[in-house]
Amino acid sequence: MNKDKILEDRFPGRRAALKREILEHALYCFNELGVEATTIDAIKARCDTSVGAIYHHFGNKEGILSTLFFAAQDDQRQNLEHELAKTNSLREAIYSIVSSYLDWVVAQPEWARFLYQARSPVAKGPFRQELKVRNAQNYQELKEKLLSFENKDIKIVQPFEIIPSLIVGPSENYCRAWLANRVRTSPRDYREEFSESAWRSLQR
């Protein structure tokens, strides 16, 4: 299954089997019950282990949460990077960013749901610094990539800081709605619409 790949890629081997097990069930609990309502006991019960094992691997609840969060974010970023590398124009890049975002959410709905709800706690918790660094890095890489394209013909909105919001804002908003069952249609079905709209929104 695809879901497990995110964990197996990052915590490989027989030795980390329980670690992956705990993470998998913790993900389920966080999504099902919410972050605060998920107790260590509930996770323990679901994967039939001990508090000792959980605390050995993660230190505390925040540790489980952050491990999951960074694993998900990293997978999403890798996916984007991979798709973005193929592009050769700004227009292609926009399409690639939007499409890979929508595809990832649809392929990993549980991870995506978690990513949305865990951001705030992680941003406030003991790993906020790591989150900041990662965000800054991702932002820089994206900026360099996008600015590397020459644009003779087309005028793009200024300044750069609003551009990421214009590109992914609508897709993100729709994906949240989809994951919360407020809309039914899969985000993938709107790849064209969101890509083209993003592209139009950038031009001036």
Partner DNA sequence: TCTTAAACAGAATAATATTCTTTTATTGCA
Partner DNA sequence: TGCAATAAAAGAATATTATTCTGTTTAAGA
Provide the binding-site residues for DNA, judged by CB under 7 A: 14-19, 38-41, 49-53, 55-57, 59-62
Four-CA torsion 136, 66, 180, 177, nearest 10 degrees = 0
Of the residues 7, 47, 90, 121, which one makes contact with a copy of itself according to CB under 8 A: 121
Nearer to a copy of itself, 74 or 196 (CB): 196
Nearer to DNA, 62 or 141 (CB): 62
Task: Name the segment binding a copy of itself (CB under 8 A); options: 10-18, 35-43, 46-54, 146-154.
Answer: 35-43
16 binds, among DNA, a copy of itself, none (CB under 5 to 8 A by kind): DNA
Contacting residues for 52 by C-beta, under 8 A, at least 6 apart = none
Sequential DSSP letters for 117-164: HHHHHHHHSTTHHHHHHHHHHHHHHHHHHHHTS--SS--B-S-GGGHH
169 binds, among a copy of itself, DNA, none (CB under 5 to 8 A by kind): a copy of itself
Which has the closest alpha carbon to 155: 95, 199, 97? 199
Of the residues 123, 133, 147, 154, which one makes contact with a copy of itself according to CB under 8 A: 123
Strand, coil or helix: 89? coil
Alpha-carbon distance of 66 to 123, in angstroms, equals: 10
Which parts of 150-169 interact with a copy of itself (CB under 8 A)?
157, 159, 161-162, 164-166, 168-169
Of the residues 37, 51, 147, 154, which one makes contact with a copy of itself according to CB under 8 A: 37
Which parts of 172-201 interact with a copy of itself (CB under 8 A)?
172-174, 177, 180, 182-183, 185, 190, 193-194, 196-198, 200-201
Alpha-carbon distance of 74 to 130, in angstroms, equals: 12
Min dist CB 116 to a copy of itself, Å, is 7
Where do the H-state alpha helices sit in 2-127? Answer: 2-10, 17-33, 40-47, 51-58, 61-84, 90-107, 109-124
Amino acid at 31: N
Residue ranges that bind a copy of itself, judged by CB under 8 A: 33-37, 116-117, 120-121, 123-125, 135, 139, 157, 159, 161-162, 164-166, 168-174, 177, 180, 182-183, 185, 190, 193-194, 196-198, 200-204
